[in-house]
Structure 1
């Protein structure tokens, strides 16, 4: 399977900040509520990868909330009570398919980090052969994902952890593989999406959206329908590049505008 050369571009743009503080006016002059609890939900989704399967062993999800006024939790880390531990195949969650892995109520305040704790049962299947993935740091303290988002009491916030399986798996020189996760965190409150279809389906194209600021995200077309969806894009004008398998030819679509909370639909892309 051919993967777009641009997939090595860093795709780590995180969440936009909402300046909200307890009993103070924000930039719009509105009084914000920063007392009580908010509800958070975390979904797992995946960017494309040229493997048969990529399994990750999810144990726990924590969030770091500050300025909450909760003196009983001095370090700010809160373990989400409704975590769904298990071994997930990342390649099952592409083109808008995701799965809820954790949720719970947390004190209102600023979320600065998310911690994803993995177990030892991580593996990659390459050409039908299963290989273990070494993840020492994840097993010990968890993968720390920096975000910058402020939670208001009484509101439900939903986040997506876009696990870039292709760039997260590193082949070792002496054989075997390491897992060095690259995860993009986004919420649909502050981002938009691009979707469409590629014809012919046999082109099995990788799809990359990138803007002038260097932000990028990718997808693979569905092998049955040719459909693709790229989510979590900051509002901007994007170039969308379609890179199919041989002998089909690469093609670009420029000036695709993405707006907050909107799915921008492209006409069917026909590849020669």
Structure 2
């Protein structure tokens, strides 16, 4: 499995200077795809990633899809939290223009490990054929490098069928880092280990992004769209929940919105 810690890589729009030479860089943009996760109540969720494709046309059927240079393999989504991501497309030239969708094509070896340690097959009804499609609708400009974040919401995506079997019906949001920022902070005491939820409040039906604190109490919410948020901390008993209002996120991945130390009480 392939995971990296998040570094301030200046992932907003940059002048594009390298990557693969599949297309002439003089009329190309750069594209990178990162996979992260909003966690669920399981020990492991392994997906068998085979392809990442983009659709830059309105064409129906398969002719509109183009392969990216994917790092294929099995990925445990539950490891992709608190600033850890998987660079499933590390970076390449791509013709400038509008991207309509990104598609993940999965193989047959997808599994779910439950809290009791039992591992079961994770059925993907359409993943091996039509793929898991995510709407992007982003214009790629010549000479600009784009990093797209695919945020896989495990809690909503894994569906129990009631007979001991589970389906994967993915809920994935896709945003370019050029339009996003990050929220970071630390929660004490460690025993509280809260779920951290950023709920956008400046528009109706805004995004919700969530994670959990790590072993040091730290948390990082990556790829958060620019806007105003209420950040909620849902703590384990006997600690009380708390929240921060009017948290502003700006498009700057190297200077995140830092909430500092949040102390939860019993």
Q: Residue 145 of structure 1 contacts residue 183 of structure 1 at CA under 8 Å; is this kept in 2?
A: yes
Counterpart residue number, 2:9: none
Corresponding position: 1:208 with 2:235: no
Corresponding position: 1:93 with 2:80: yes
Candidates 72, 75, 79, aligned match of 2:63: 75
Candidates 250, 253, 260, aligned match of 1:259: 250
Counterpart residue number, 2:105: 117
How far is 1:139 from its partner? 0.8
Counterpart residue number, 1:160: 149
Q: Which portions of structure 1, spanning 4 or more consecutive aligned residues, are displaced by more than 6 angstroms? A: none
1:208-237: per-residue Cα shift (whole Å, max 9, x none)? 111223321101000x20001112222222
Q: TM-score, normalised by structure 1?
A: 0.81
Alignment of 1:1-272 (within 5 A): 36-66=27-57, 75-80=63-68, 82-102=69-89, 103-126=91-114, 127-212=116-201, 213-214=204-205, 215-222=207-214, 224-261=215-252, 262-272=255-265
Q: Distance in 2 between matches of 1:93 and 1:45?
A: 5
How far is 1:154 from its partner? 2.8
Q: Distance in 2 between matches of 1:48 and 1:269?
A: 21
1:13-52: per-residue Cα shift (whole Å, max 9, x none)? xxxxx9xxxxxxxxxxxxxxx9722221111111111111
Q: Distance in 1 between matches of 2:172 and 2:250?
A: 22
How far is 1:96 from its partner? 1.1
Change (3 A) 1:140 1:66: closer
Unaligned runs of 5+ in 2: 1-12, 14-24
1:123-178: per-residue Cα shift (whole Å, max 9, x none)? 11001000110002011111111111111223221111111111110001222110
Pick the structure with more strand per residue.
Answer: 2
Q: How many pairs are equivalent?
A: 232
Counterpart residue number, 2:19: none
How far is 1:76 from its partner? 3.1
Q: Distance in 2 between matches of 1:37 and 1:95?
A: 32
Q: Distance in 2 between matches of 1:174 and 1:51?
A: 17
Counterpart residue number, 2:22: none
Q: Distance in 2 between matches of 1:251 and 1:61?
A: 39
Q: Distance in 2 between matches of 1:190 and 1:85?
A: 27
**1:100 alignment partner, SS class:** strand
Q: Residue 209 of structure 1 contacts residue 240 of structure 1 at CA under 8 Å; is this kept in 2?
A: yes
Q: Distance in 1 between matches of 2:28 and 2:219?
A: 36
How far is 1:106 from its partner? 2.0
